[in-house]
Each structure stands twice: as structure tokens, then as C-alpha cells.
Structure 1
Amino acid sequence: MATQHHQNDELDHSNLSIRPLDPATDVDDLMVWVSDDQVTQFCRWDTYTSRDQAIEYINKFVLTHPYYRVICLNNRAIGAISVTCNTGNDKCRGELGYVLASEYWGRGVATWAVKAVMFTIFEERPELERVEALVDVENKGSQRVLEKGGFIKEGVLRKYCIQKGKTRDMVMFSFLKLV
């Protein structure tokens, strides 16, 4: 059972890292968050119910994704963060996404990961001039993470997408490359 932590109960960030997912060793760690209804509540994908689903996700999505990383505590995956780059006339924009095991919520981990990725993403992907993040209007925790991570709230996009069978309002955040 996940332990509830207070907002100021931050982890020692020197034990945090971001690295590519290792399908041989990270699948059981990944199962912790992809099988947690509390974590997947605001995700576009449904809660995973089997290890086989996680392995299929890793093989079809993670391993082919140009920027998908796991967030690690003492080199164990406790979450993931990705930047999906657009193409064509939209190649100047990318979309940030992240997920974190609920045990680590409210402890500065997601904010640390967002800052770490944003510190390097414009060098790694020089075509990007803007990184966006869309967050469910009810997901206040994730909105705080983005604001602490340097993102600017641009506004609410009404009835923007269908998530878990319901039309949802999303908050648009952006982080711009400094010229």
C-alpha cells in the first residue's frame, strides 16, 4: 500500500536519475505504476492488468519512441517522462508527458524530472522551439509540477479530448526555447 507523503517530504534528489528504459530489467518496476488506477486516472491509456500488456507497450511504444526515459531512484524505475516531437510544419513543437508511481507523489520527483528534461531537450532536439504539456483540468498536482518546472499556463482547452469515455477539458502549458 502506498504511503501518503506531505508536500515538503522531498527525496534526496542526488539519488534521482533519468535514463532509457531497459526492457530486461525495468518491466516489473513499470508494472507498479501502469497497474495503479490512481496513477492512470488522468492518462489516456487504461490501467494495465498484466505483465504481457506492459511488455507489449514497451516493445511497440517505448523502444520505438525517440525520447522516452525512465525516472529512477537509486537506478530503479519509479516513473517515466517523454517528449514527443511533431513533424512537418509543426516540428517546432513537442509534447511533454510524464507518469510517476503514486508512492512518490508530492515529493519533488516529477518536478525534478521535468526540470532535468527541459534543461537538455532543446540541445538534444534543436528543431524544437516550444514544448507543450496538456493536463486534465482536474489534475491539480500535475499542473503544480509543470508550473514549478518553469512551464507557463496558457489556458483551458474546452472539450479537448475524450479520455476514458468522457470529453475532458485540458489545460495547455508551454515552455519556450530562449533565443
Structure 2
Amino acid sequence: MEAEVGEGEISLRSLNLDDIDDFMVWATDDRVSRFCTWETYTSKEEGIKYIKETVIPHPWFRAICFNGRPIGAISVTANSGFDRCRGEVGYVLGSKYWGKGIVTRALSMVVNTIFDEWPHLERLEALVEVGNVGSQRVLEKVGFTREGVLKKYFILKGRSRDMMIFSLLSTHDKTL
């Protein structure tokens, strides 16, 4: 998957161990991890372990690449069992690339293919901390609907958080 953005090309591909140095750029940045469920990485060994144990076996985890180099990641995690019609999207991007429309474009690429790749999905969800206005704007630009606030939804980094839930249905207009 590829798209043009400014002076570079955006693409999605698998993230692998060869990408560890690029991964560590955003994974060690406190500004990037602020709204993430994971803590800021402090060692390359932690990053390697994460890629080996979480990223590689994940059924849909992609690096967001700028001119072929990973600058972030995007994933879709499908539920199983009675709610397998739902999946959750999550994304992260190196702070150097914020505000350039890169995640908006990467997310558009995902939503234009994920319902074909995973036909059992009828709904794609995203949970965003109420204070993460930039991420909320990304979702709305791609066509997600803001459904509401989930008060004290989960504990993140030692405190309960209010989360905004967004959704996109498989019947969405794919011309975005």
C-alpha cells in the first residue's frame, strides 16, 4: 500500500527485527507514548522483545513508512467469539512527523482494505483518550463517527481515563 504525502511516499508493510533502530526512535519518545498503553521503551532489548513477541505474531500489524523507513505503526485487532464482528484500530507515529497528514493517510489505506481482508468485520472501533484531540481529528477526517465518552473506562499509567469511542462500519463510503 502506498500514497504520496508532500516530498515523500507513505506505505504500510510488516515491521520486523531489521527495523529496530527506526522503531526505537518513536518508542523511546515520551511525547509519543503519552497516550499509548505501553510505557516509553528504555532499551533496545525491550524493543526487540516486543517485536518478536507481539508484533511478528500479530495478525494485522503494519509499519507506517515514509520513503520506505518505519516512522510509526498501525494495527487492527479483531475480537473473537460472540463479538468477532468488531475490531479495534490503533496507531502511533514519531513526533517529528506529527501534523503532516501521515496517520490520516495511513488510516485511510487501512479502512479501504480491512473489511475486504477480514470480511467477518462489520465494525472498526478506536478508543482515544479525551485529551488526545489530534487523534480524534484523524479519525473524523477518515470518516469515523464519534459515539460518546466512556467515563473512567480503563486504567492507563496509574490512573483511570475517560475515553472517546469512535466507529466505522463496513458499509462506510470507500471513496474517502
- TM-score, length-normalised on structure 2? 0.93
Aligned-partner Cα distance in 2 for 1:41–1:151: 23
Q: Is the Cα–Cα contact under 8 Å of residues 44 and 164 in structure 1 kept in the other structure?
A: yes
Kindly report which structure 2 residues correspond to 1:89-168, keeping only aligned pairs within 5 A, or say none.
Answer: 89-168=82-161
- List aligned pairs for 1:60-79, cutoff 5 A: 60-79=53-72
Contact 1:13–1:112 under 8 Å retained in 2: no
The residue number in structure 1 matching 2:15 is 21
Aligned-residue RMSD, C-alpha: 1.4
Which residues of structure 1 form unaligned runs of 5+? 1-9
> 1:36 pairs with 19, 29, 42, which one?
29
Matches of 1:53 and 1:14, distance apart in 2: 30
Once the two structures are TM-superposed, the CA of residue 134 in structure 1 deviates from its matched residue by 0.0
Greater RCO, 1 or 2 (C-alpha within 8 Å, sep 6+) = 1
Detail structure 1 runs of 4+ shifted over 4 Å in the superposition. none
Find the residue that maps to 1:15 and give its secondary structure: strand
For the 8 Å contact 2:8–2:66, the answer to whether it is kept is no
Task: Find the residue that maps to 2:112 and give its secondary structure.
Answer: helix
Shift of 1:12: 2.1
Would the aligned equivalents of 2:77 and 2:89 in 1 still touch at CA under 8 Å? yes
Q: Deviations over 1:72-106 (max 9, x none)?
A: 00100000000000001110000000000000000
1:84 to 77, 91, 100: 77
Instruction: Deviation per CA, 1:117-160: give whole Å up to 9, x if none.
Output: 00000000010000000000000000001111111100000000
Contact 1:13–1:109, Cα closer than 8 Å, also in 2: no
For residue 7 of structure 1, what is the aligned residue in structure 2? none
Counterpart-to-counterpart distance in 1, 2:62 and 2:35? 20
Unmatched 5+ stretches in structure 2: none
Question: 1:28-65 deviations in whole A, cap 9, x for unaligned?
Answer: 00001110000000111100000000000001100110
Overall identity of the aligned pairs, in %:
57
Aligned length: 169
